[in-house]
Structure 1
């Protein structure tokens, strides 16, 4: 792995760490999107992960 890839990988890990931390204490998630399927497409994986942790999700 070259230096550029290593730097990118370290940066990616730091960014993902902060994202995970933002949702540590989620009780309810409200997603407001312009189209009915946008929430599923854009955030489906995140919503499923939070639901497993007990966070309820509302989509409008």
Structure 2
């Protein structure tokens, strides 16, 4: 994604190096890692958890 060739010689210590990317390097368009969770989805999961908890208590 960053256009950096993978190499076994690459070390984590180099990760913060100012010379890791050359000036003018074109980066790819970033993509989302996670989808947005809506308030409705959160509420539905909370209700589901509450119902399961109540069912377990009544057993």
TM-score (norm 2): 0.31
Q: Relative to total residues, which structure has the larger helix share, 1 or 2?
A: 1
Higher strand share: 1
TM value normalised by structure 1: 0.30
